[in-house]
């Protein structure tokens, strides 16, 4: 979610002045091998938000981003667009005009040259409260797929981007589900390992109206990203060796979680024809770690 590549073609490899990326369209196998079952005792639950208390999201678990944040997106982030209702976290993107208090006449910066935002939404993160090194990260959610909508479930490490590392367990825009990781490439250019999957490959016409389960299995060797038990992308952690702060591997350092609903921006597309409000409904977010493993710890 931090800074994505431009609109993607069916299969594309990019190396340019802004970034380097490998992007591929997912080619689903006839049947994915089942992952290790939680019931087998391989993992234990270390943190979860089941969203079972109506009202504002739990402030002990989540903080909210504010204002214009990234990617030239159209929405103004504010806490009131996220609420828990009947067992679901609901993030709403609303078409409404709000004043930008950071507006500066004549500014050339994207976040201060706009006098108003034309949309509002919410972005929640566990930064400063919870972060984890390795484990299984799971979200069950129903995502908005209207034009211009850009929902995501992702992680960041600590420090400046892209040195901190980024893992996109799920993001959606322009008819595609994406599963990505990014780290520092040459100079300050990000390097991407990204796969996009057209939603018409994922199921029937009712897929967009249903809840689905996104999962990341993250170890010191690999990052495997799934939707509904289908492996979308498998990332070699060693590819990021030496790219992080102090030349560490950012995927061998703790990350925190984010869930957000962006509108428009670099990748989201034109939201003009989308109904308002758009709803991103999250049933739960859970973090599991390997039992009795020295490398997996809640930090």
Is the N-terminal amide bond of 82 cis, ω within 30° of 0?
no
Quote the distance between the C-alpha of residue 254 and its chain's center.
16
- The closest of 12, 71, 26 to 267, measured between CA atoms, is 71
Asked whether the beta carbons of 44 and 62 are under 8 A apart, the reply is: no
Name the catalytic one among 44, 73, 96, 166. 166
pLDDT at residue 187, rounded to an integer: 87
pLDDT at 26: 52
Question: 171, 229, 281, 295: which one is catalytic?
Answer: 171
Cβ neighbors of 183 (< 8 A, separation 6 or more) are 162, 163, 165, 166, 190, 191, 239, 240, 243, 244, 250, 251
> Does residue 44 have an active-site annotation?
no
Q: Between the CA of residue 240 and those of 191, 222, 224, 247, 252, what are the distances in Å?
A: 9, 11, 15, 10, 9
Q: Is 171 a catalytic residue?
A: yes
Domains contained in the chain, CATH given: 18-26+42-294 (2.60.120.200)
Positions of the chain with pLDDT under 70: 3-41, 292-299
Pairwise CA distance, residues 78 & 123, whole Å? 8
Residue 262: strand pairing partners: 150
In this structure, are residues 88 and 281 in contact, taking their beta carbons and an 8 Å threshold? yes
| pLDDT value of position 3 | 56
- Residue 24's pLDDT is 61
The pTM (predicted TM-score) of the whole model is 0.88
Measured distance CA(125)–CA(276) in Å, rounded: 24
- Contact partners, residue 42, CB within 8 Å, separation at least 6: 36, 290, 291
């Amino acid at each position: 979610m931090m800074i994505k590549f431009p609109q993607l073609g069916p299969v594309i490899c990019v190396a340019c002045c802004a970034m380097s990326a490998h992007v591929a369209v997912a080619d689903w196998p006839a049947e994915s091998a089942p992952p290790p079952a939680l019931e087998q005792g391989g993992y234990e639950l270390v943190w979860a938000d089941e969203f079972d208390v109506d009202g504002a999201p739990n402030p002990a678990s989540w903080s909210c981003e504010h204002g214009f944040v990234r990617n030239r997106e159209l929405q103004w982030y504010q806490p009131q667009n996220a609420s828990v209702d009947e067992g679901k976290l609901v993030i709403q993107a609303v078409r409404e005009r709000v004043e930008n208090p950071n507006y500066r006449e004549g500014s050339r910066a994207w976040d201060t040259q706009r006098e108003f935002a034309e949309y509002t939404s919410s972005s929640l993160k566990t930064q400063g409260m919870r972060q984890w090194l390795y484990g299984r990260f799971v979200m069950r959610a129903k995502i908005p797929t209207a034009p211009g909508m850009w929902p995501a479930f992702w992680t960041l490490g600590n420090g400046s981007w892209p040195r901190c590392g980024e893992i996109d367990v799920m993001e959606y825009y322009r008819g595609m589900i994406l599963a990505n990781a990014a780290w520092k490439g040459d100079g300050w250019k990000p390097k991407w390992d990204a796969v996009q999957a057209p939603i018409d490959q994922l199921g029937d016409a009712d897929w967009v109206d249903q809840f689905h389960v996104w999962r990341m299995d993250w170890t010191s060797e690999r990052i495997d990203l799934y939707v509904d038990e289908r492996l979308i992308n498998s990332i070699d952690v060693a590819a990021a060796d030496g790219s992080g702060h102090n030349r560490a591997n950012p995927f061998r350092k703790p990350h925190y979680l984010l869930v957000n609903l962006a509108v428009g921006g670099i990748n989201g597309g034109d939201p003009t024809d989308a109904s308002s409000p758009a709803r991103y409904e999250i049933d739960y977010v859970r973090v599991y770690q390997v039992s009795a493993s020295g490398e997996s710890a809640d930090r």
